[in-house]
Structure 1
Amino acid sequence: MADELELLRGANPVPDDGLRFGDGPLDQHAERHLDRLLHERATATATATAAVPRRRTRLAWGLAATAVVAALVSALLFTGQTTAPAVAAPRPLVVQMDSSPVPLKELAERAERAAADNAPALRKGTHVQAWSLAMSDKKPPITLPIETIVRWNADDSHTEIVVATDPRHPGRPVLTDEDGEPRPVEDGHVLSKQTYPRSWSDAPPYSPPPTDVAGLRAYLQEAAYSKTALTTGELLDAVASLLGTWTLGARESATLAQLLADTAGLKPLGQVTDRLGRRGQAYVLDGPGTREMLIMDPATGTVLGLETTFTKAEPEYGVKAGDVMSYSAWMR
């Protein structure tokens, strides 16, 4: 199914390649679409003035509000810009119907074989593409696509660069709210670039992760600042924190795959194609109101992505069942 952005482009009464231009008359078809766009814009304005309670940090993720997109596209039409910003509104990943689920234990065995030559090696630093829902008072939620690159230097300082980009729509404008208001920026617009001095901490996740299962489990528990054993959901959060600091090598990925295979609650579903076009195996954890999907490379056990979707509607926050709360795709 085409996403909302493509549907809105199709409703544009004055498309770039149309026979009629902005200074010419509209036919009946275009007038109907124009009337609908104006109606949606008025509806979005009314919605934006309603009070929206502040959500806990973890809930600040998900699917973009269609009304906001319609309002922005309408505004762009009337200011002479007919190329709408590429708004990341990812739908839940779909498991390939004819694919066979791969049990985590089997995947861990594959990862162990792939790690025999210990290549690639562990590297401090990350490269991640993420779609995150921004929520604020009196405004509908909007989904913001960003790419983050963290590079560590020889003196143990590190630089973090965050840019607005959406790989699904390369070269198109991207929606951001860096100044507190939704607005389009150029693809690749630098949202922030910061260099941090050397950290003297050698505690997880800054210390290298162990390559034995028991050690890695204790490491993730310490990284999560927990004094008790982590639940499966907490473990997935700790894995995301680990991948925010390290790009795992083959040996570390194999250890993590074995740890996950020994963890209850993760159910294999089958093959998916992630948002960067990579083939992966999906493993899901169903919780109260949400479903977390872990995507792993079927040959090496490398974690490719993590998606969280709502399984229960929460109208007070503008979300419905099936909306994506968060998505991260890690790269080397």
Structure 2
Amino acid sequence: MNAVNEVRQLLSGLDPAQGIQPADDERRARDLARILASDQSLRAARQAGSRRRLVWGVAAAAVLMVAAGGVAVETLREPQPAYAATPALLTYRQSANAEPAGSRLRRLAAVAAAQPALDRPAGTVEHLESANWFLNSSISGGRATSAVVPQEWRSWRSDDGAGRMVKKELPPTFRSDADRREWQRRGSRVDSSQETRDFAAGGFYSRFQGAVPTDVAELRGWLTAGASAHEAPVQYLEDVAELAGVRLLNPAQRAAVLRLLADLPGITATGTVTDRAGRVGEAFSITSSAHGLPAQYTVIVDPHSGALLGYEEMLTTTAGKLNVTIPAVISYRSYLVAEYAPMPR
């Protein structure tokens, strides 16, 4: 995450999921195929004259990556060739008498706390899967060249902090052939790649070690352990999104996370939405310039379990040097699987 923070500084001038029930293999394959079919969807959209953006991503500069998340509320016009493709905007349905975000999140926390814990067969560990999108941008001579990189993430973690991480990046998708040629000229990859890492006890995702606290004040300190307290409320929302991708939380832990979100200044209820995996959830957002560029940060929560379904970031007023049209979703994470499973051999 240090690299992310460095990029965010440059840009100033990018589990509560335990409630997701284990999915069968057929459904997992279907979800991943639908969400990660960025290349094919974009080509089909162009052939059909679609005016919707269909590629997922995260913005970055000088071949640096920014991992964040956000959402938008309406469909954008087709970008001009000078601009990079970004994800289609989600549509939110806001009730006229919507409950305040803090109150609603506390009620969702009560729902989460009432959920039964997942059965844990002997010999199993925390197993998580997610689909993510990264828009990598290289800026040289005032010209930005971008490639959309879909990513699959799978992880297994034992109680002592040992584990395995498998990160697969699929072939990048480009806005134009010229961008592809420029990307290759600068030595960046255009094929798929996969990284597998095994960790000894205490080595897997060292930032979130040990049991996740169930007390809100304790949880806030645990999220920033080894560092000073966050200056901006949105940083805690980002922590929650990161945590959802790497840890399997029990109902009490998930409830604490939702109560922490409920206490954040500036959090709003964005509305009901169907996420990018076809699941209905409730969205909660914070708009902030904490990382330089004004952006809206949003989490999507399952109203039946309190599980986190997705996380997005949307640039709202300016893109700085990034070649995207405002408003623009520049990152997305979709949490697909959270269960107990055997550690792979």
TM-score, normalised to structure 2, is 0.63
Secondary structure of residue in 1 paired with 2:224: helix
Instruction: Give the Cα–Cα distance (whole angstroms) in 2 for the partners of residues 8 and 317 of structure 1.
Output: 22
Q: Which residue of 2 aligns with 1:206?
A: 209
Secondary structure of residue in 2 paired with 1:136: strand
Give yes or no for contact 1:270–1:281 (8 Å, CA) kept in 2: yes
**Do residues 311 (structure 1) and 316 (structure 2) align?**
yes
CA offsets, 1:54-99, max 9 Å, x none? 27643798999875999xxxxxxxxxxxxxxxxx842232202568
**Do residues 195 (structure 1) and 186 (structure 2) align?**
no
Structure 1 position 242, deviation (Å): 1.9
Q: Which residue of 2 aligns with 1:54?
A: 62
CA offsets, 1:280-322, max 9 Å, x none? 1111111132111111111222221110011123363212211
Instruction: Give the Cα–Cα distance (whole angstroms) in 2 for the partners of residues 311 and 202 of structure 1.
Output: 31
Instruction: Give the Cα–Cα distance (whole angstroms) in 1 for the partners of residues 240 and 261 of structure 2.
Output: 10
Q: Which residue of 2 aligns with 1:91?
A: 88
Q: Which residue of 1 aligns with 2:243?
A: 242
Within-5 A mapping of 1:230-269:
230-269=231-270
Report the AA paired with residue 128 of structure 1: S
Give yes or no for contact 2:166–2:197 (8 Å, CA) kept in 1: yes
Q: Which residue of 1 aligns with 2:114?
A: 116
Aligned residues: 261
* Rg larger in structure: 1
Rate the CA distance shift 1:277–1:99 in 2: closer, same or farther, 3 A: farther
Within-5 A mapping of 1:28-177:
54=62, 57-58=65-66, 67=81, 89-96=86-93, 101-102=98-99, 103-120=101-118, 124-138=126-140, 140-153=145-158, 156-164=161-169, 175=173
Instruction: Give the Cα–Cα distance (whole angstroms) in 2 for the partners of residues 260 and 329 of structure 1.
Output: 19
Q: Which moved more, 1:289-298 or 1:309-318?
A: 309-318
Secondary structure of residue in 1 paired with 2:47: helix
Structure 1 position 234, deviation (Å): 1.1
Instruction: Give the Cα–Cα distance (whole angstroms) in 1 for the partners of residues 134 and 119 of structure 2.
Output: 30
Instruction: Give the Cα–Cα distance (whole angstroms) in 2 for the partners of residues 9 and 164 of structure 1.
Output: 26
Give yes or no for contact 1:312–1:320 (8 Å, CA) kept in 2: no
Report the AA paired with residue 213 of structure 1: V
Q: Which residue of 2 aligns with 1:33?
A: none
Give yes or no for contact 2:79–2:325 (8 Å, CA) kept in 1: no
Report the AA paired with residue 44 of structure 2: E
Secondary structure of residue in 1 paired with 2:149: strand
Give yes or no for contact 2:68–2:313 (8 Å, CA) kept in 1: no
| Percent of aligned positions that are identical | 24
Q: Structure 1: which 5+ residue stretches go unaligned?
A: 12-51, 71-87, 166-172
Greater relative CO, 1 or 2 (CA 8 Å, sep 6+): 2
Report the AA paired with residue 145 of structure 2: P
Give yes or no for contact 1:161–1:194 (8 Å, CA) kept in 2: yes
Rate the CA distance shift 1:100–1:5 in 2: closer, same or farther, 3 A: farther
Give yes or no for contact 1:129–1:330 (8 Å, CA) kept in 2: yes
Query: Alignment RMSD, CA only?
Result: 3.8
Rate the CA distance shift 1:314–1:109 in 2: closer, same or farther, 3 A: closer
Instruction: Give the Cα–Cα distance (whole angstroms) in 2 for the partners of residues 201 and 190 of structure 1.
Output: 21
Instruction: Give the Cα–Cα distance (whole angstroms) in 2 for the partners of residues 68 and 215 of structure 1.
Output: 48
Instruction: Give the Cα–Cα distance (whole angstroms) in 2 for the partners of residues 175 and 247 of structure 1.
Output: 32
Give yes or no for contact 2:161–2:204 (8 Å, CA) kept in 1: no
